[in-house]
Amino acid sequence: MLTPSAVESARFGFKVHRAHHKDLDVRAFAQAVLAEQADLVVLRVPASEREVAQRLARAGLPAVVADTLVYYTLDYSKHEPRALRNKDLVFSVLREEHREVLERSVGEIFASYRNHYDANLFLRREDFMEGYKQWAMGHSEGLDPDKIAWVVHRGDQYVGFCTCSHDEEAGVGEGVLYGVDPNASGGGVYGDMIRFTSQYYKERGFKKMRVSTQVENFAVQKVWAREGFYMDEALQTVHINAFLSHSELEPVQATFRVSHQMIERFGDVSGDRNSMHFDDAAAIAAGLEGRIAHGLIVQAEISRILGVVRPGPGTMFLWSGSTFLAPVYPERDYALRIAFPHVDKKRGIYKAVVTLRTAEGRLCLLGYSDLMRRG
């Protein structure tokens, strides 16, 4: 259900997983995220699953809709790739010797290009821009038999690159990443790169070729349509910022217990005399083991720790949200953990992640807070 992404984990410095589901079982998926203690999950689901972020939030997982990815397909049984318009273009298989020019070019080509990583405030642009360079060079000759790339020249002038991958068994090639050097833009260079790679897979006997981009990238989609590609799939990319492992500060860990006296006092102060908190018989009739604690008593302990222990005095809530995944019973010990996956000390901004677990390790509460500390 979840696939660890070693490359992205190394790039961003925390545990990143990927997942792709056509029919997402949110409950099972949430359990997998919790079991893996994932920090970031990049999830792709059909674009028709418009409510997925709300369903994930209901399961306690903070989700950001990052983009809509559209796929176009060229079916060789219905369309023949056309000849290049620029006859002077030379395509050379990408090798290590091309690294310097390619990395410079990638930095310039994609400097203002926005992708799903841009939607996540916890990711630094310089990190995923570096990822473009690694991604492109990862298609160099000899590294992976299912990947290939070319650098494109016109005479002595470098004009661009194209990277592809393929599935021999399925007979499908895929255009992964294309870039035209800003000094060579226009004149149909991009279109000819599409034609060249299309012809490459046609000559190898493949049945189809696919390409993909963010839905708002209209310019390349116009080129693909002119070259015989048709849109046949749209996926929604969702980032789940679970941050269940990573912490930039030492996490606060404590044993927490709600007493019957605390429940009585809270009921008196708040006026909340709900029978679920005071009557064992009523609680058992409702399917519980017995009376349960007010959720706000737990929240009060979290507030105390954040305001007194860490970050400490001067801390204020900007936003807070939590999900109770199991009831909290009085006179039982629970393990409370508060981690801080994002800290901006210059601005005094902290992100806190709270978990409350039973002695057996069952998760009862998952909460997230944005904090500001003054002074």
Residue-wise pLDDT for 330-346, tens only, equals: 999 999 999 999 999 99
Answer for the pair 169, 190: CB distance below 8 angstroms, yes or no.
Answer: no
Answer for the pair 160, 189: CB distance below 8 angstroms, yes or no.
Answer: yes
CA–CA gap between residue 65 and residue 52 (Å, rounded): 9
**What string of DSSP letters covers 138-196?**
TTSTTT-TTEEEEEEEETTEEEEEEEEEEETTTTEEEEEEEEE-GGG-STTHHHHHHHH
Q: Kindly report, residue by residue over 227-242, the tens digit of the pLDDT.
A: 999 999 999 999 999 9
pLDDT in the model for residue 111: 84
pLDDT in the model for residue 130: 84
Percent of the chain beyond pLDDT 90? 90
pLDDT in the model for residue 30: 96
pLDDT in the model for residue 57: 93
Answer for the pair 263, 277: CB distance below 8 angstroms, yes or no.
Answer: yes
Percent of the chain beyond pLDDT 70? 100
Say whether the peptide bond before residue 311 is cis (omega within 30 degrees of 0).
Answer: yes
Domains of the chain (ranges; CATH) run 3-67 (no CATH), 74-233 (3.40.630.30), 252-373 (3.10.129.10)
- Parallel, antiparallel or unpaired: strands 349-358 and 334-344: antiparallel
Which has the minimum average pLDDT: 13-17, 129-133, 185-189, 290-294?
A: 129-133
Query: With 80 as the cut, is the pLDDT of residue 162 above it?
Result: yes
Query: With 80 as the cut, is the pLDDT of residue 347 above it?
Result: yes
pLDDT in the model for residue 375: 77
Average pLDDT of the residues of the chain: 95
Q: Which of 209, 204, 205, 141 is nearest to 151 (CA)?
A: 141
Which has the minimum average pLDDT: 31-40, 179-188, 362-371?
A: 179-188
Answer for the pair 350, 343: CB distance below 8 angstroms, yes or no.
Answer: yes
Which has the minimum average pLDDT: 177-191, 197-211, 223-237, 263-277?
A: 177-191
Segment 280-308 shows an average pLDDT of 97
Query: With 80 as the cut, is the pLDDT of residue 69 above it?
Result: yes
Query: Is 0.75 surpassed by the pTM of this model?
Result: yes
Alpha-helical runs (H) found in the chain: 6-12, 26-36, 52-58, 99-109, 125-137, 189-203, 218-226, 260-270, 275-278, 280-285, 295-308
pLDDT in the model for residue 183: 86
pLDDT in the model for residue 122: 94
Segment 360-371 shows an average pLDDT of 97
Tokens of 98: 């091309």
Segment 63-79 shows an average pLDDT of 97
pLDDT in the model for residue 100: 92
Answer for the pair 341, 122: CB distance below 8 angstroms, yes or no.
Answer: yes
Segment 265-276 shows an average pLDDT of 97
Segment 33-62 shows an average pLDDT of 96
